[in-house]
Amino acid sequence: MDETLREQQLRMTRYIRDPSANAPPPGIETRRLAVYRQLFLGNVQSLLAGGFPVLYASLAKEHWQALTSDFYAFHRCKTPLFTEVAGEWVNYLETRSDLPGWVAELAHYEWIESVLLLSDGAEPSHEPEGDLLDGIPVLSSLAVPLAYAWPVSQIGPGHIPLAAPAEPTLLLARRGADQNIHFSRLAPLAYALLVSLQQQSLTGHEHLNALAEIAGIEQLAIQAQGAALLHSLKAQGVVLGTWLVISRIAAPQHPQVGHMA
C-alpha cells in the first residue's frame, strides 16, 4: 500500500477515534469527518446498550456517553468479531479503578448471559449414571458459578447501592433445556463445590474432603450434605454424570468465565 495513502488512513482513523487529541487529515471537511465518527461510534454505543441494558439504564446519560467514547478511543480490542465486543467492554470496565465497583460487576453479570446463550460447544463425553462420589463428576459447560462483591441481580435504575454488603452474592448461571438462561442463588458450600468441580479433576469424595479441610471441619460432617448436593446438581443438569474411565487421566479443565469477588 502506498505510504501516503496509509498515513492518510491512519490520520483519519485516529481523528475519528479521538478528535480532541488528533488533527484531521488534510483536504476533508470537518463536517464530513463528524458524520463518519458518529456512524462508527454510534454503532458501538448501540451495540453495547443492547448487550448491557441494565447498566445502560443505571448510568446517567452523560456518564454512559463518556465511558463508551473513552472505550472507543483508547481500548484496543483483541478480536474483530462483533459478538465478542461485549467481552472487551467488560475487560475495559474492569481496568477503570475510578468507577464504582458495581459497574464492572454488573457488566460481567449481564455478559455471562450472552456468553451462555451464544455457546455452541459440545458437552464432554461422560457416564450419565456414574457414581458421583467414587467417580469424577462432570460439570456442564453451560453452568457457571459466579461470585460478586455487589448484589448485581438487584441493581437497576431504581436501586444503586452506596456500598457493597458484608456478604458476597453467590450465583449459578446456566442454560437450561429450554435454551433460556437461569440464575439462582447459591449457598457457600454449593458455590465452593461448583468452583472445585470447575477447577479440579477429583472424585466426589476428594472434592468434599478438600472442602472440609479448607473449612476446618471433620470430613464426615460434610459427606452426607455434599452427596445430597451433588445429586441435586445432577437432577438440575448442572452436573452431567462422571468422566468415562478412559477420560479420567486427562480430564479437560472447565472454561474459566466465572467472576470472583
Query: Domains (ranges, CATH) in the chain?
Result: 3-99 (no CATH), 137-247 (3.90.930)
Q: Which residue has the cell 467481552?
A: 87
Name residue 86's amino acid.
A
State pLDDT tens for residues 181-230.
Answer: 999 999 999 999 999 999 999 999 999 999 999 988 888 889 999 999 99
Distance CA 49, CA 44 (A): 9
Strands 137-139 and 181-185: unpaired
**120 has pLDDT over 80:** yes
Distance CA 224, CA 226 (A): 5
243 three-class SS:
coil
- Average pLDDT rounded to a whole number, residues 116-143: 93
State pLDDT tens for residues 30-40.
Answer: 888 778 788 88
Residue 34's pLDDT is: 78
- What residues are paired with 241 via a beta bridge? 138
Q: What are the grid coordinates assigned to 6, written together?
A: 496509509
For the ranges 33-47, 150-164, 166-180, which has the lowest average pLDDT? 33-47
State pLDDT tens for residues 216-258.
Answer: 888 888 999 999 999 999 999 999 999 986 544 444 444 445 5
Residue 248's pLDDT is: 46
Q: What is the pTM of this model?
A: 0.86
Cβ within 8 Å of residue 101, ≥6 positions away: 149, 150, 164
The distance between the two most distant Cα atoms of the chain, rounded to a whole number of Å, is 79
Name residue 256's amino acid.
Q
Residue 250's pLDDT is: 46
Buried b (16+ CB within 10 A) or exposed e, 29-62: eeeebeeebeeebeebbebbeebbebbbebbeee
